[in-house]
Amino acid sequence: MTNTTEIRVAGEPGYAIRVGHGLIAEVGDALPEGARKVLVVHPPTLQKEADALRESLVGEREVLLAEIPDAEQGKRIEVASFCWQIMGQADFTRSDAVVGFGGGAVTDLAGFVAASWLRGVAVVQVPTTVLGMVDAAVGGKTGVNTNEGKNLVGAFWAPRAVICDLDLLATLPRNEAVAGYAEVVKAGFIQYPEILEIIEADPERATDVTTDEFRRTIELAIRMKADIVGEDFREAGLREHLNYGHTLGHAIEHAERYQWRHGAAVSIGMMFAAELSRLAGRLSDAAVDRHRDILTSLGLPTTYRLGAWTQLLKTMQRDKKTRAGMLRFIVLDDIGKPTVMQAPDESLLYSAYLEVGEEQRPEVRSTQTSVKL
């Protein structure tokens, strides 16, 4: 496989996503030529790498590091305010830039800080997790959470470039890599069956971040996301397809007080969406079984506790993606053929839930890695 793959996102001016090894050294080239000051936003776990990144960027530029709390703790307005303070004290101008260096929460926050500083400065995203590379850092959704819910405040702000250095994944705990990989599986179900075939051939190799199989599948997932957001940046239509498995998935994350990994919740959500598609007469039994087999082969969960339905339904009804009070689900007419199902009957939803519900919450599985936690 060649060293670097470049995937372009259409738009004015559009941007490139670069995937390969040793790409950290290229972050400087992706910054605007006129940027004299750069803020690198990173979590504490990446302090050493952030220092190395700063070393590679200094020269004609002043590089400041903003260490922020990891994961959702970092996606707060107080944390954005901390970054704005650093920028203000360093006299950041409109030609300066921000680098988001971390997982999805960090790149969401860094993007928001860049989107709002002087009404928008350049941001280069350098995701360090599978989830970040295939989803969060691509597509320009930025924002913070509030006490009332996740991602309620934010902006669409396209990055100037996204640099996916696969070397950064080497130290990722396997649980986390597999959970992030749920978004890659989603790309297989909604667009690229080749991803499913690669997983079916060897699930271990597909999720081993050092293999060509892993690289091929994440590149396909990135390509899918790049094509969709290039066409529908502001989620007026097509982009909604990316929510496959997410309506129930978000409700499960909420029910679990955000202690579950996103990908684990989305895995159950995809299983539910497949069952819903089947019950609505759209999807074959075989395609639903394929969902279950693939997700299980990766150690991703496919069932959830039966008694939670009322609470999950309530949360879904509140979900910000519900339009005019109507629930919307992405369902499949076939593998690779997503479509929107609007306002489905509650009894149909409950029937689909019965297919994924089980008496007790599933405990750690004996095969493979369990990525519930």
Q: Which two tokens stand for residue 18?
A: 């670069």
325 backbone φψ class: left, alpha, beta (φ>0; ψ -120 to 50): left
* Residue of the chain from 9, 199, 220, 242 that contacts ligand GLY (CB under 6 A): 242
DSSP character at residue 76: S
Residue 40 β-bridge partners: 65, 99
**Which residue is catalytic, options 75, 76, 186, 250?**
250
Closest by CA to 181, choosing from 154, 221, 142, 226, is 221
Q: Which two tokens stand for residue 21?
A: 């090894």
Catalytic annotation on 37? no
Catalytic annotation on 235? yes
Check residue 239 for interaction with ligand GLY (CB under 6 A).
yes
**Which residue is catalytic, options 37, 42, 141, 278?**
141
Helix and strand counts by DSSP (H, E) for the chain = 14, 13
CB of 328 to ligand GLY, least distance (A): 14
Catalytic annotation on 225? yes
Decide the pairing of beta strands 328-334 and 337-342: antiparallel
**Which residue is catalytic, options 183, 219, 240, 275?**
183
**Which residue is catalytic, options 18, 160, 225, 328?**
225
CB-side exposure of 159: number of CA atoms within 13 Å? 35
Closer CB to ligand GLY, residue 150 or residue 239? 239
Which helix (H) or strand (E) segment holds residue 312: the answer is helix 309-318
CB of 235 to ligand GLY, least distance (A): 6
Q: Which long-range contacts (CB under 8 A, 24 or more apart) does 198-201 make?
A: 199/294, 199/297, 199/298, 200/293, 200/294, 200/297
Catalytic annotation on 42? no
Check residue 154 for interaction with ligand GLY (CB under 6 A).
no
The binding track of 277-316 with respect to ligand GLY, each residue x by CB under 6 A or -, is: ----------------------------------------
Closer CB to ligand GLY, residue 136 or residue 341? 136
Closer CB to ligand GLY, residue 297 or residue 322? 322
**Which residue is catalytic, options 72, 194, 231, 235?**
235
Determine the interface stretch with ligand GLY among 34-42, 234-242, 303-311, 327-335 (rule: CB under 6 A): 234-242
Catalytic annotation on 318? no
Q: What is the DSSP string of 13-51?
A: S-EEEEEESSGGGGHHHHS-TT--EEEEEE-GGGHHHHH
CB of 22 to ligand GLY, least distance (A): 27
Dist. CA 86–CA 101, nearest whole Å: 17
Catalytic annotation on 8? no
Check residue 18 for interaction with ligand GLY (CB under 6 A).
no
Active site residues: 119, 141, 183, 225, 235, 239, 243, 246, 250, 262
Contact positions toward ligand GLY, by CB under 6 A?
135, 139, 141, 235, 239, 242
